[in-house]
Structure formats: structure tokens, C-alpha cells
């Protein structure tokens, strides 16, 4: 038994030391850089496929892009969040009292310096700021989205996505919409995003 353990340990050690490190996927080259503005190691060569993607036809595209770039996140990610949060309805109000395109709660809006949650530019800037803070805090897209939806303290305490069906569905929907947008699709509701991750 000790010989088997020794052999297994030796084999594992050899694999870890002798094998090349697994390469991290380069999401930036795939059109999925979550943070923008940092200098890339090398520019991605333009492919025929990438150059054929049509310009964005998303609602509020200029305002979303401006807010996202200001807070150094991918505009497609902010579009995905807005799609799931409000389906681009600037006057949307949830049963919990969240309001606007990015569905800011009153206290969160105040903390972010947003005086009018229904002002498109102010709401988008506040939502982008809050999402960027969660991305920096958690270093993981899914945890950041869970924190945006269920609250950062709950996610920090658990160290994972809470077992709340609404939050789990929310994270899945935003990721699915982000993938659809990264593939060049136009989406305006969660239903438009379905099937993009399959």
C-alpha cells in the first residue's frame, strides 16, 4: 500500500513539475475581455470573421459604451447586464424597489453618487461602476454577477454563488447574453440570448 501511495505521489509530482503549465484562454482575442483599457500583450490579428461582425445595434449603445469604457469594463458585458436587469426599459422598477436600466437600489445609487436612477446616463454609469467594483473585489465574473444581484457581503460570506434560484438564474442569463453579444448577435431580452452557450 505504501508503495502504491509513493508511486501515485511520484507520478503526480512528475506531472506537475514536468508538464508545461496549462495555458489560460485569451478571452480578449475572442471578443470577451471583461476589463478594457489595459495594454494588451500583442494586438490580435484581424480575421475575416471578426471584420464581418456588424456594428452594434443595441439600444442605448453610445451611452452604454461610454459608461462601460469610463469604468473599464467591456461594453458587451454592460449590455448583457442591462438586457437581463431591465430589457432596456429606463423606467423599470422591480418589486424590491430597484430602478432604471441597471436596476440600482436606492441606497446603492446614493452610495454611487447617482441622484436620479431613471436618468439613462447616470444609471448606466452607476451600474457600470458597481459592476466594476464587484469584478475587482471577486476577480471572477460569475461571483461578481452574483454580488450585483444578491449583494456583495452575502457572496463574500459564502465564497460562492448563493443557492438562491433567482441569483443562479440571473448569473446564467447574464453570461448567456454576454456570449450572444460577443458572437455579434443583437439582443434586447433574455429570450434573445437563449441557446448562445450551447
Q: CB count, 10 Å around CB of 60? A: 18
Altogether, the residues listed in the chain come to a count of: 198
Residue 177: exposed, middle, or buried by beta-carbon count in 10 A (0-12, 13-18, 19+)? buried
Structural contact between residues 79 and 125, judged by C-beta atoms closer than 8 angstroms: no
Q: CB count, 10 Å around CB of 151? A: 15
Active site residue 85: yes
Q: From CA 175, how far away is CA 124, in angstroms rounded?
A: 19
Q: From CA 198, how far away is CA 195, in angstroms rounded?
A: 5
Residue 40: exposed, middle, or buried by beta-carbon count in 10 A (0-12, 13-18, 19+)? exposed
Catalytic residue among 24, 66, 85, 153: 85
Positions marked catalytic: 85
Amino acid at each position: 500500500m505504501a508503495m502504491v501511495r509513493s508511486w501515485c505521489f511520484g507520478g503526480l509530482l512528475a506531472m506537475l513539475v514536468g508538464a508545461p503549465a496549462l495555458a489560460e484562454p485569451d478571452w480578449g482575442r475572442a471578443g470577451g475581455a471583461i476589463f478594457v483599457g489595459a495594454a494588451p500583450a500583442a494586438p490580435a490579428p484581424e480575421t475575416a470573421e471578426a471584420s464581418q461582425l456588424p456594428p452594434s445595434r443595441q439600444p442605448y449603445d453610445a451611452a452604454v459604451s461610454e459608461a462601460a469604457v469610463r469604468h473599464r469594463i467591456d461594453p458587451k458585458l454592460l449590455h448583457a447586464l442591462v438586457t437581463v436587469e431591465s430589457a432596456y426599459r429606463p423606467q423599470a422598477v422591480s418589486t424590491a424597489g430597484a430602478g432604471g436600466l441597471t436596476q440600482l437600489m436606492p441606497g446603492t445609487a446614493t452610495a454611487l453618487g447617482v441622484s436620479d436612477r431613471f436618468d439613462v446616463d447616470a444609471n448606466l454609469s452607476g451600474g457600470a461602476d458597481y459592476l466594476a467594483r464587484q469584478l475587482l473585489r471577486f476577480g471572477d465574473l460569475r461571483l461578481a454577477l452574483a454580488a450585483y444581484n444578491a449583494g456583495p457581503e452575502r457572496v463574500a460570506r459564502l465564497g460562492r454563488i448563493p443557492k438562491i434560484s433567482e441569483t443562479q438564474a440571473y448569473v446564467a442569463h447574464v453570461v448567456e447574453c454576454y456570449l450572444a453579444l460577443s458572437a455579434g448577435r443583437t439582443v434586447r431580452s433574455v429570450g434573445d440570448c437563449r441557446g448562445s452557450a450551447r
